[in-house]
Structure 1
Amino acid sequence: MEAEPTTDLIRAQLRRLRLKAELSQEEFGKLVHFSGSQVSAVELGQRPLDRFFLKRADEVLATGGLLTSLLKMAEREGQPSWLRPWLDAERDAQQLWCYHPTLVPGLLQTEHYARTVIRADDMLSDDEVDKRVAVRLDRQAVLGRPQPPKLVAVIEETALRRADESFRGLMAQQISHLLQCAERPQVSIHIVPADVAVHVGLAGPFTLARGGDGGWVGHLEDQLGGTSIDQDNDVAILMARWESVRSEALPQRQSAELMKDVMAQWT
């Protein structure tokens, strides 16, 4: 669901900037590759806000990215209440430790992989899938900021091999992306080899974030959403489990070699 106060602001700003540029809806539509009636529908709230449209509008109106930035804000506001505290912690983190037993962690997913994973929920409309993919990719921007957090990710080898022939190209692209990410000085990726049959992490995915004040918070995911963890005792348990999971994983160099071997299988 759109965050109405912010999306109303976007529509108002779009109209104000268009009029300031002395462009009719028809004239503006030609510049952004939309019809005049489509521009009118966007401004009146009769058509959902579209990232491509707003990106073109920012370029044509020379806004410095104002409209797309406001859309990202609206999408953040539109997230469920249980997720917002974690988004704040993730955005401000200086360190991030993440583990997932069955998937590549969201901060390291390609768009194609993220879309495939999200679309697996057949209760979601195409529009909702697009919004969730966009939010997931926006969250990855934390890794590209001037002083990015130190990210340590632990991934199961079985998660990299868990696909059939129809996903051959998707998995090759995803593992290639992981290898590229692992070359960044602030990113460490460690693989738990498939011959480690049982360990405590298999109980479920979790992430830990350390903020600027040195405090840690955690995040647990489940079928209905997720929970932010900030009680000291609970955080201590997650940190102990992280150390246990991390100890089962291979060092960085060996992890990279294993990823290359798996990628060769998919290519």
Structure 2
Amino acid sequence: MVNIRNLDPSASPLDYYGSELRRLREEARLNQQQLGAVLFCTASLVGQIETAKKVPTRQFSERLDAALMTGGHFSRLVGLVLRSQLPTWFQPYAEMEARATYISTYQAQLVYGLLQTEEYARAVLGVENPDWLDQMVAARMERQRILGREIPPVLCVVLDEAVLHREIGSAEIMRNQLAELLGLCDHPWIQVQVLPFEVGQHAALMGSFNLLRFDEDPDLFYAPVYGGGHMSADHQVIRERAVGYARLQAAALSREASAALIERVMRERYAHQSGSEVA
């Protein structure tokens, strides 16, 4: 039999997913090849997921729920699996981010993770995580699902103008990423502003940071550091960073002027490379 390995369901969300897949497949009296045919995938893929050697996608999980009539069991479980693929040091922040009702962020070098296209995320994460790239990208895309909720968090983003000019991946990837940002200009719960180069010194010269607000829990401050991240609920830190963020928003271009700058950079820097043009 293909891919037989005993799993400890308590070892990780991935192991639990695999053990549940095997249990329910066997209850349905299907072998891996038969289930794979129903799911439009190979028996090998089914076996790799059952043995926790491969991370399932959300699409796979939705098809699995339909095939085995589980009532959405795997679609709910896959979120835990994908979040578990995030770096250990980042998981506490991701959990708090998913609960936040208001997120404000300043990004000095990159588009904020919740707004990255899959291709942009793949280029960013591939620099230091080539062996785990698919899992990391899937986990980042899973984080973005909070923006599609019936009541999503309010998201305010201030991007340094350098973010627009730093070519990540390729010109095509950057065109698509900037187009994604432009598409958010009329979003009711997302505000994107650009801090232009001419501002000079500003309230976030120390680097990127995020502020999270919650309905019931204390506010949180988060700043990424190399190989980790710093999170704090200290009242004085929150107070100082909240004032700093308000100053950043005041110094940044308006929502409309930011969109105009994003479009101009997209046209002038990325539009005519590889024979492509922006409509």
Q: Shorter-chain-normalised TM-score: which range?
A: 0.7 to 0.9
| Identity value in percent | 30
Q: In the alignment, which residue of structure 2 is the partner of 1:193?
A: 196
Match of 2:159 among 155, 161, 165: 155
Pick which of 92-101 and 28-37 moved more: 28-37
Which string of whole-angstrom CA distances, capped at 9 and with x for unpartnered residues, describes residues 38-79 of structure 1? 534433x26323326444423322334422432320332454
By percentage of residues, which structure has more helix? 1
1:125 and 2:117 are equivalent in the alignment = no
TM-score, length-scaled by structure 1: 0.88
| Superposed displacement of residue 109, structure 1 | 0.8
Aligned residue identity for 1:125 = P
Q: In the alignment, which residue of structure 1 is the partner of 2:81?
A: 74
| Superposed displacement of residue 102, structure 1 | 1.1
1:7 and 2:14 are equivalent in the alignment = yes
| Superposed displacement of residue 195, structure 1 | 1.8
Q: In the alignment, which residue of structure 2 is the partner of 1:176?
A: 179
> Which stretches in structure 1 are left out of the alignment for 5+ residues?
none
Matched ranges for 1:125-144 at <5 A: 125-126=130-131, 128-144=132-148
The CA distance in 2 between the partners of 1:187 and 1:142, in whole Å, is 12
The CA distance in 2 between the partners of 1:82 and 1:140, in whole Å, is 19
Distance of aligned partners of 1:234 and 1:82 in 2 relative to their CA distance in 1, 3 Å threshold: farther
The CA distance in 1 between the partners of 2:91 and 2:47, in whole Å, is 32
- Please tell me the root mean square deviation across aligned C-alpha atoms, in Å: 2.3
Distance of aligned partners of 1:160 and 1:30 in 2 relative to their CA distance in 1, 3 Å threshold: same
Distance of aligned partners of 1:175 and 1:50 in 2 relative to their CA distance in 1, 3 Å threshold: same
The CA distance in 2 between the partners of 1:208 and 1:38, in whole Å, is 40
Higher relative contact order (Cα pairs below 8 Å, separated by 6+ residues): 1
Aligned residue identity for 1:179 = L
Secondary structure in 2 matching 1:146:
coil
The CA distance in 2 between the partners of 1:198 and 1:80, in whole Å, is 33
Tell me if structure 2 keeps the 8 A contact 1:94–1:209: yes
Q: In the alignment, which residue of structure 1 is the partner of 2:112?
A: 105
